[in-house]
Chain A
Amino acid sequence: MKALILLSSLGVIALLAEIFSFKKLIYPIVLLGLVLAFILNMFDWDTNQLYFKMMQTDNYAIAFTSLIIVISFLWFIMAEGFFKEESNQSDHFALVLFALVGAVIMVSYTNMAMLFLGIEILSIPMYILAGSNKSDVLSNEAAFKYLIMGAFATGFLLFGITLIYGATGSFDLTEIATVVSTNTAISSIFYVGVLLMLIGMSFKVSAAPFHFWAPDVYQGAPTVITAFMATIVKTAAFAAFLKLFHTTFSSLGETWMHIVWVMAALTLLVGNITAAIQTSTKRMLAYSSVAHAGYMLLALLANNSFSNSAILFYATAYSIASIATFCIVSIVANAKGSDVVDSFNGLAKSNPLLAFVMTIALLSLAGIPPTAGFFAKYYIFTSAFTAGNAGLVLIAIIASLVGVYYYFRIIIAMFFKENTNNQPLEVTINHKLLLIVIAVAIILLGLFPESIISLL
């Protein structure tokens, strides 16, 4: 809660920066504020406080809030150039900070109203940021598609919330859970409500067959904003999704589990196979992020005590590696003018650091030991296996083999293909530091996964 207040005030300060002209200071203020928010957030650990039955700072919420703050800190360092170029930069700071506020609300809600408000507070700034490259038609198209699909999904979510309200007379998660578990003859509109909420949340986490907007939006938006959407938005959406179905609807498992089973299998196959045929790396990473949503659905489906920690670890490993890959893709695409796989040719010779970190990040995304991604997949598969979803684990393993193929395409291009122009690309010192920190973090998380797994 303290972190939430601090982040909101940071957003307001960022807006004031334009009026009182301290724009130069806003970047360090935001970074400092994020560190402070992380520390304040950690003070709430084990307090388990309930705020007016609207939000709760249980350990689940605090762990995900901390993850979101850490990722956004890394993201701000990655996005330094984005804030330098823009003319109205303090507005962009404010939009990103308000989006973070929405993400924090989404992981700590205990009431449907807060879920809805959190999703909208996160989404509305993202619509604007996706279109922040105003003269670029692709960015326009991304913003428009994101807005329409986001609002469409919100409509389904709200209709679901309304039907559940009609059947139970409450918006509170615990009250709904009580009604569901005690009342055997519950009105049939409740089940329609659960189904509609499932559709709405699947849109938000871009699970197949509701994933079709994601690749377009991810490709058209500016690369740093894509990184934000693929990491922070996805983590927050998944935390909200898991909280809703793991706590409130878990006793109705048999009504939604078959649907989620099919969705998970479809997401894994569609995401990985379509990623394998892409030429643009940005679009490939977009499909790979769809595929990663599929792995996380496995833990959601398992619906057991491992699910929370497995999703937390997966989100951590995936987000850190994604920040690194998107950072390198934006550096390469800016220098070469195109983000096709061939732009990476000969990168190992010209920029060994970039190639090295990119390799570690891609290995982590592909799930190869000793990186964090391997244990992330391991825990996900364990939780799915203990829940008796062996068939789905088999599909996931086949899908991740396809994943290895397209991640290695970039690695092969970097190390084994020649490029006529071996001029090293310019990389700022902050980006270098960021990439080194991320590479070390990926390896450390791979060696000591218990440090995160034991949290929840």
Chain B
Amino acid sequence: MSIIQTIPIEWYLFLSTVLFAIGVFGVLFRRNAIIIFMSIELMLNAVNLLLVAFSSYLSDSKGQVFVFFIMAVAAAEVAVGLAILSMVYRNTNSPDINNLNKLKW
């Protein structure tokens, strides 16, 4: 029995769900682009945590391999995201997303 399994699986499920929800609310309610990126990372890392926990409980390594894919893709996504953000910053001189409201209705 691994150290991960000393804690019941439900607790991992609750913790991941709470972290995921914090990430979702961060994306929806924060106005600073950097913090939005952080919130998205939080969502993806909540998923990673849950995957590792399930993987350990099911004694199955596929879940941990999936975590590596998620980490690699998240890194690529943040690299592109920061590039886009610096492009936005050059035009608006602010990381506040309230400046990005030219497109509506």
Contacts and interface: CB of A to CB of B under 8 A. Distances in A.
Contacts of A410: none
A456 interface: no
Interface string B9-29: 100010000001001100100
A152 B40 contact: yes
Interface string A126-156: 0110010011011011111101100110110
Bin the interface of chain A by size.
35 or more
A142 B87 contact: no
A158 interface: yes
Contact of A171 (B43, B47, B62): B62
Nearest to A216: B103
A163 B17 CA distance: 11
Given A124-B80, A137-B91, A147-B81, A158 B40 contact: no
B44 interface: yes
Contacts of A216: 103-104
Interface in B1-56: 9, 13, 20, 23-24, 27, 33, 36, 40, 43-44, 46-47, 50-51, 54
Bin the interface of chain B by size.
35 or more
Nearest to A274: B105
Contacts of A117: 69, 73
A289 to B, nearest CB: 16
A165 B81 contact: no
Q: Determine the main DSSP class of B at the interface with A.
A: helix
A137 B19 CA distance: 33
Contacts of A112: 66
Nearest to A217: B103
B28 to A, nearest CB: 9
B85 A169 contact: no
A41 to B, nearest CB: 26
A155 B51 CA distance: 13
A158 B70 contact: yes
Given A120-B77, A162-B54, A155 B23 contact: yes
A166 interface: yes
Interface in A72-130: 112-113, 116-117, 120, 124, 127-128
A189 interface: yes
A341 to B, nearest CB: 16
A189 B54 CA distance: 12
Given A116-B69, A158-B70, A171-B62, A147 B84 contact: yes
A220 interface: yes
A124 B74 CA distance: 10
A155 B103 contact: no
A148 B33 CA distance: 9
B76 A144 contact: no
Contacts of A142: 103
A155 B43 contact: yes
Contacts of B91: 135, 137, 140
A227 B60 CA distance: 43
Contacts of B58: 166, 169
A159 interface: yes
A235 interface: no
Interface of A: 112-113, 116-117, 120, 124, 127-128, 131, 134-135, 137-138, 140-145, 147-148, 151-152, 154-155, 158-159, 161-163, 165-166, 169-171, 189, 215-216, 219-220
19 contacts: A113-B65, A120-B73, A124-B73, A131-B87, A135-B91, A140-B100, A141-B88, A144-B33, A145-B103, A147-B81, A151-B77, A155-B23, A155-B40, A165-B63, A166-B9, A166-B57, A216-B104, A219-B103, A220-B103
Given A143-B87, A151-B77, A154-B44, 12 more contacts: A128-B80, A128-B83, A134-B87, A135-B91, A140-B91, A144-B97, A154-B77, A159-B20, A162-B50, A166-B13, A169-B60, A171-B66
Q: Which 6 A-B pairs have the closest CB atoms?
A: A155-B43, A216-B103, A166-B54, A141-B100, A158-B47, A151-B40
